[in-house]
C-alpha cells in the first residue's frame, strides 16, 4: 500500500481523512491496550497516534528495553489487527508532560551537553538510539505491510529554538535508518513557531485546542497547498500538584471545534485516553515557579484515566458520525472496578533503619547530583557528621533541585522547595549541635521540566555544595534511592503493628498521644517513636477477583506507592489528585502487598481501596 501527501492525504490513490486519537502505550498496562483501541475504533477513528519515549526505551546508555508495557511492536500490531492506521512520533523529544520530555536523564551527566540543537554529543546519542529503535519500527510502515502512515521529526520545536540544521539532522537520521512514510512536524499555531520549526519536504501541522478556523488559516500559509492537520487537538489539560482542582475543557466549544476541524482538514484528538504517569515519570513545568504534574494523566480525555467512556466520547462520536460510517465494535475486555476496603498498616520501618538494604553509600568530598552518580529518578540522601559546628544557624544548598527535607539526628528541621533552595536559610532558632551530630538531607526529584530552556538545568539532588553557617561542609555519604528495588526494604528492622493498635485504628480512636507507644512490637527506629522522618509502610490484602481499584491516601503526607512491586506513582496531600489508580492486572488472586514510602512523617493508620477515582 502507498500513503502520500499531495493536496490531501491519499491512500493507494484515494483521498483519506485522518481521524486519529492519541493513546500512549506506555501510560496504560498492556492488558488494556485492546480495550482502548476497540473504543477508539468504535468512536469512528481510523488511526491511533502515540509518542515513543526515549527515556523508557534506553533507561541507561546502551541498555534498550522493548518488552511489556514498552512493546511498541506489539502495540502497533494490535492496532493493525483492529483495522487502525498508526502515527508514530519517535522524535528524541516528546514533551507530553512526561519526565524530561522523554529525553533520558543520563544525558545530563555530560558537561557541555546541549539539548535539541546541533550539538555533536547530543546528535550522536540520538543516532545510537535510532539504530536500536528503527529496526523495530520500520517494518511496521505501510510501505512494508504495516499500519504506520506518518512519522514525526520533532515536536513543537518552534517553541524551543530555531536551529533548522538540527531539524535537518534528525530528519536525515530517520531516513537513513529506514523511515519511508511521509514525515511531519507539529508546532504551535503561530508564524514564529512555524518559521522556526518547519522543514522543506516535511508537512507542517499544528497543535491547538480552540479557534480552529483561525489556527488553520495560519497553518495554511506553510503547507504549500498540502492538507491541514491538527496533530494535537487538546480536548482538556493536565493537572499539577496544588493547582486547586482537576482541569476540565469546555465540552460545547470542543465539540464545535472538532466539527470545524473535520470539515476543513484532519485531526488527532489529544488525548483520547491520557492514562497514568506510573513511577516517577511525571513531567513538570517552570514559568515563575516549579509545577510538577500529578500521577494521573487523565487530561479530561475522551476516555477517563482508567478507560471509561465519557459524555465527551458520545458527543465526539456524534460529530465523527457525520463524516464517516461508524463501525460496530464489540468490546472484548471485561473490566470491573472493585472496592477492597480499608487496609491497616501491618509493618513500618524508617528509611534510616533499612538504608543499607536499599542503597549503598558513595563517599564524596562534596555532594554530587543524581546524574553524576548514575541515578535517574527518585530520591537521594546526603549524610554527614557535623564536626566543626557548635550550633546550626543557617544552611544553603548550592545548585539543588527540587525539594529537600533536612534532619538533624533524625529531627526534622527544614523542608525547602523550589526557590527556597536558591537562598541561604536561617533557622528561626539556632540549634545546639552535639559532637559528630548527623545531618541528613533527603532530596526528591519531583519530575524534570519537560518544556523550554530550563530543561538544560535539570540535574537533580545537589550538584555543587552545602554551605553550613557560612562555609562549605565537606565529606558526605551519598545514598541513591531510585526505589526500583522496593522488595529489599527490610521490615523486620521496624515495627510490627500490634493488634491493639489495629483495633484502635479501625475504631478511629488513635490520637497523637499514642504515638509515643507506636514503636512496641519490634525495632528501635525513631520513626516508630513518632518522629517525622521518612519511612516505609506495608499493607496486605486478599483478592478473590482482580479488578481496577483506587488507593485513597487521605491522612498521608507525601511520597510514592508500590503495588506488588510495581510503582503506581506519587501521592501528595495538596491534591488535586486524592486517589491513585491501580489497574486490575497489577493484582493477583490471593495476598497482595502495598508499600508506601512517606517522606513527611504525616501518616494515617489506614489506606482505603475504593471503586471510584477522585482527581479533584
Alpha helices (H) in 271-348, listed in sequence order: 311-320
Torsion sign, CA atoms 413, 418, 421, 426: negative
Give the separation between CA 197 and CA 218, rounded to whole angstroms: 14
Alpha helices (H) in 58-119, listed in sequence order: 72-81
Cell triple for residue 162?
A: 530555531
Q: Is 180 exposed, middle or buried (0-12, 13-18, 19+ CB in 10 A)?
A: middle
Catalytic residue check, 232: yes
**Which among 43, 38, 52, 143 is positioned nearest to 81, based on CA atoms?**
38
47-81 burial string, b = 16+ CB within 10 Å, else e?
bbbbbbbbbbbbbeeeeeeeeebbbbeebbebbbe
* C-alpha to C-alpha distances, 550 to 305, 340, 342, 506, 615, nearest whole angstrom: 11, 9, 12, 20, 11
List, as one string, the DSSP characters of 134-189: HHHHGGGBGGGTSSEEEEEEEESGGGT---HHHHHHHHHHHHHTT--S-EEEEE-S
Task: Out of 156, 305, 371, 477, pick the active-site residue.
Answer: 156
* C-alpha to C-alpha distances, 406 to 165, 432, 515, nearest whole angstrom: 46, 16, 22
What residues have CB less than 8 Å from 351, skipping those under 6 apart? 381, 442, 481, 527, 533, 534, 535, 536, 597
Element housing 339 (H / E): none
Task: Out of 97, 99, 232, 477, pick the active-site residue.
Answer: 232
Give the separation between CA 229 and CA 215, rounded to whole angstroms: 10
- Phi first, then psi, for residue 372 (nearest 5°) are -70, -20
Catalytic residue check, 252: no
Element housing 489 (H / E): none
Question: Which residues are part of the catalytic machinery?
Answer: 156, 232
Amino acid at each position: 500500500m502507498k500513503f502520500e501527501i499531495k493536496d490531501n492525504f491519499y491512500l493507494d490513490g484515494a483521498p483519506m481523512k485522518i481521524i486519529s486519537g492519541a493513546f500512549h502505550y506506555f501510560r496504560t498496562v498492556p492488558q488494556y491496550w485492546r480495550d482502548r483501541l476497540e473504543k477508539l475504533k468504535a468512536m469512528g477513528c481510523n488511526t491511533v497516534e502515540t509518542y515513543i519515549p526515549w527515556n523508557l526505551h534506553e533507561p541507561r546508555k546502551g541498555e534498550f528495553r522493548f518488552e511489556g508495557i514498552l512493546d511498541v511492536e506489539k502495540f502497533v500490531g494490535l492496532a493493525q489487527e483492529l483495522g487502525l492506521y498508526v502515527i508514530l512520533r519517535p522524535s528524541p523529544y516528546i514533551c507530553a508532560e512526561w519526565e524530561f520530555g522523554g529525553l533520558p536523564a543520563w544525558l545530563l551527566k555530560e558537561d557541555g551537553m546541549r539539548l535539541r540543537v546541533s550539538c555533536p554529543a547530543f546528535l550522536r546519542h540520538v543516532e545510537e538510539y535510532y539504530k536500536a529503535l528503527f529496526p523495530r519500527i520500520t517494518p511496521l510502515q505501510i510501505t512494508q505491510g504495516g499500519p504506520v502512515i506518518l512519522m514525526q521529526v520533532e515536536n513543537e520545536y518552534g517553541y524551543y529554538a530555531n536551529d533548522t540544521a538540527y531539524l535537518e539532522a534528525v530528519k536525515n537520521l530517520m531516513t537513513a535508518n529506514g523511515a519511508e512514510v511521509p514525515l511531519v512536524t507539529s508546532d504551535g499555531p503561530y508564524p514564529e513557531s512555524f518559521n522556526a520549526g518547519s522543514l522543506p519536504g516535511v508537512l507542517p501541522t499544528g497543535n491547538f485546542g480552540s479557534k480552529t478556523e483561525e489556527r488553520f488559516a495560519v497553518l495554511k500559509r506553510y503547507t504549500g497547498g498540502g492538507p491541514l492537520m491538527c496533530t494535537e487537538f487538546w480536548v482538556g489539560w493536565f493537572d499539577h500538584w496544588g493547582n486547586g482542582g482537576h482541569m476540565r475543557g469546555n465540552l460545547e466549544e470542543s465539540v464545535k471545534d472538532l466539527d470545524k476541524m473535520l470539515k476543513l482538514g484532519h485531526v488527532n484528538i489529544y488525548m483520547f485516553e491520557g492514562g497514568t504517569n506510573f513511577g516517577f515519570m511525571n513531567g513538570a513545568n517552570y514559568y515563575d515557579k516549579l509545577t510538577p504534574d500529578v500521577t494521573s494523566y487523565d487530561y479530561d480525555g475522551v476516555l477517563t484515566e482508567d478507560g471509561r467512556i465519557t459524555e465527551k466520547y458520545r458527543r465526539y462520536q456524534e460529530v465523527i458520525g457525520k463524516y464517516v460510517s461508524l463501525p460496530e465494535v464489540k468490546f472484548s475486555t471485561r473490566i470491573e472496578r472493585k472496592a477492597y476496603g480499608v487496609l491497616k498498616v501491618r509493618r513500618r520501618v524508617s528509611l534510616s533503619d533499612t538504608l543499607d538494604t536499599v542503597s549503598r553509600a558513595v563517599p564524596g568530598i562534596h555532594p554530587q547530583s543524581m546524574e553524576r552518580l548514575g541515578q535517574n529518578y527518585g530520591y537521594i540522601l546526603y549524610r554527614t557528621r557535623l564536626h566543626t559546628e557548635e550550633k546550626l544557624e543557617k544552611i544553603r544548598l548550592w545548585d539543588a533541585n527540587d525539594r529537600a527535607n533536612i534532619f538533624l539526628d533524625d529531627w526534622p528541621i527544614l523542608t525547602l522547595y523550589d526557590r527556597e533552595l536558591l537562598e541561604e536559610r536561617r533557622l528561626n532558632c539556632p540549634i545546639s549541635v552535639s559532637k559528630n551530630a548527623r545531618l541528613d538531607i533527603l532530596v526528591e526529584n519531583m519530575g524534570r521540566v519537560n518544556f523550554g530552556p530550563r530543561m538544560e538545568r535539570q540535574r537533580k539532588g545537589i550538584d555543587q555544595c552545602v554551605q553550613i553557617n557560612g562555609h562549605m561542609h565537606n565529606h558526605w555519604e551519598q545514598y541513591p534511592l531510585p526505589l526500583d528495588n522496593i522488595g529489599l526494604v527490610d521490615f523486620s528492622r521496624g515495627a510490627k503493628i500490634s493488634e491493639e493498635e489495629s483495633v484502635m485504628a479501625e475504631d478511629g480512636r488513635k490520637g497523637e498521644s499514642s504515638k509515643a507507644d507506636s514503636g512496641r512490637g519490634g525495632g528501635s527506629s525513631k520513626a516508630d517513636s513518632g518522629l517525622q522522618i521518612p519511612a516505609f509502610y506495608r499493607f496486605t490484602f486478599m483478592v478473590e477477583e482482580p479488578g481496577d481499584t483506587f488507593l485513597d491516601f487521605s491522612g498521608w503526607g507525601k511520597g510514592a506507592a508500590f503495588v506488588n512491586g510495581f510503582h503506581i506513582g506519587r501521592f501528595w496531600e495538596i491534591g488535586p489528585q486524592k486517589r491513585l489508580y491501580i489497574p486490575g492486572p497489577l493484582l493477583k488472586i490471593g495476598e497482595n502487598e502495598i508499600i508506601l514510602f512517606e517522606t513527611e512523617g504525616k501518616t494515617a493508620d489506614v489506606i482505603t481501596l475504593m471503586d471510584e477515582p477522585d482527581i479533584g
